[in-house]
Structure 1
């Protein structure tokens, strides 16, 4: 049997009870690269008060097992489907950030009937360009040769804005340096070969929420606008004072927007 992803499942009332909190649609949070499930700490704390919240470490990240070589987005999506099965979760609101957003799109392509709402944060749907493909393979080789610290030092103030709180910067840096180079490299190679999800977005049959940081240089606001225009039923929110990780940089604003979306679905 394949190993399950290491995950954090929270609900204020406990897993064995049947209060109203457990009747709300569960929220599943998919982290980006090269992070882990602690990326979602502000959301786990906020939303577990009234629903089941699930945050896994993706294959190769955090405490989940590492698969060397290449791990495509389809493998991550299958892992998430297997996790939902193991937790006996039939449907969920699926939220993903950056690579996690692309995995969320792959999940919708594979088992969209299990997804009640789709949250795409600081991500983009297009396939990789030839230049981008070469860059991801080169970065995979570099991480295997040098480890994660040099890369983490270089990109920290693009992942979060230079003006981000020092505690947020420290958390993000810790996640990056703790990531397995083998796991990160395998995911980079898989992401380099990802399909184009733009046509998929036009056929999404559930409400969508598109969120991005105003100062994100990895996935600028224009990428969010493209997804918002493609989705048949979506909301777009640009969070000021944030770069690529608005859920950590501006958690109160991010949680307000996500909370309003969840309330709409609950209603």
Structure 2
């Protein structure tokens, strides 16, 4: 576990393993500990806390995806990593696509888990804006009770870990990310034209980004690989780590 000052903030991160660098980008409202089951795979696993989460600085207001991408690029610079396999889950997958838009030459391959490349809808803008306001006004307890059963299959071994991450997420950081996410652009054409090795992963019980959305991405990204993880919801890397890790390892070993 390390920290570094980048772009005027402190970023907490893990940097473990071997030669092939993988940059692991967590979702909302989590932190880098969501990648704990993947850190021992033997590659160079770089897992930062996004600004506003975990050990990284909380910046109130609004954090747009280009800001998250700039932080990630600065971290790679600090670690002397020119190119990496980018792995992102949920919001993290969308941030990975923003990184691709801005820094395509630094992306060796893509792993997109339980995410969507589509731009935000008017209904989504309203929902995320209202949720950001509610988190600041009321805290996160009600949101967690509503969202947790959709994040993971109830009763799974990862449930309490996910609850701890959600409870520990600073509401100002979460609200800033929600406001930024409400402004995200559409990445459909970007993904279709990327021409990169791409792995798409989804839990077969995911309600937020269901299998049909993963199949849509699989159709967009020519030559991509699709893996549907049975018995998992929105966080298959935590709910079914053995299956997720085997899928990821098989993909990376072929690069």
TM-score normalised per structure 1: 0.91
| Displacement of 1:132 | 1.0
Q: 2:214: which partner in 1?
A: 224
Partner of residue 198, structure 1: 188
Aligned equivalents of 1:215 and 1:229: distance in 2?
Answer: 20
Q: Where is the strand percentage greater, Structure 1 or Structure 2?
A: 2
Moved more, 91-100 or 1-10: 1-10
Q: Does the alignment pair 1:44 with 2:44?
A: no
Give the deviation of 1:73 after TM superposition. 0.8
Report deviation, 1:163: 4.2
Q: Is the 8 A contact 1:198 1:230 kept in 2?
A: yes
Structure 1 vs Structure 2 CA RMSD:
1.0
Aligned partners of 2:37, 2:132: CA distance in 1, in Å? 30
**Aligned-partner SS, 2:11:** coil
Structure 2 distance, partners of 1:5, 1:205, is 31
Aligned to 1:15: none
Per-residue deviation at 1:4?
A: 4.5
Which residues in structure 2 correspond to 1:10-21 (within 5 Å)? 10-11=16-17, 21=18
Q: Could you say which residue in structure 1 is the equivalent of 2:3?
A: none
- Partners of 2:155 and 2:135 lie apart in 1 by 27
Q: Which position in structure 2 is the counterpart of 1:16? A: none
Q: Which residue of 2 aligns with 1:3?
A: 9
List alignment gaps of at least 5 residues for structure 2: 1-6
1:6: Cα distance to partner? 1.0
Q: Does 1:175 align with 2:170?
A: no
Instruction: Report if the CA contact (8 A) 1:4-1:83 is conserved.
Output: no
| 8 Å CA contact retained: 1:121, 1:211 | yes
* Deviation, structure 1 residue 249: 0.3
Moved over 4 A (4+): none
Which secondary structure state, in structure 2, belongs to the residue aligned with residue 5 of structure 1? strand
Tell me by how many angstroms 1:126 deviates. 0.6
Deviation readout 1:60-116 (Å, 9 max, x if unpaired): 000100111110011101100010001110111000000000000001111111111
Q: Does 1:32 align with 2:27?
A: yes
Give yes or no for the alignment of 1:189 onto 2:195: no
Higher mean alpha-carbon deviation, 147-156 vs 137-146, is at 147-156
Q: Which residue of 2 aligns with 1:246?
A: 236
Deviation at 1:206? 1.4
Other structure's SS at 1:103 match: helix
Cα separation, 2, equivalents of 1:189 and 1:153: 21
The structure 1 residue matched to 2:79, chosen from 84, 87, 93, is 87
CA distance in 2, matches of 1:88, 1:38: 23
Q: What is the CA-CA distance between 1:233 and the residue it aligns to?
A: 2.4
| 1:139 and 2:128 are equivalent in the alignment | no
Q: Distance in 1 between matches of 2:9 and 2:175?
A: 20
| Contact 1:216 1:242 (C-alpha < 8 Å) held by counterparts | yes
Q: Alignment partner for residue 214 of structure 1, among 195, 204, 207?
A: 204
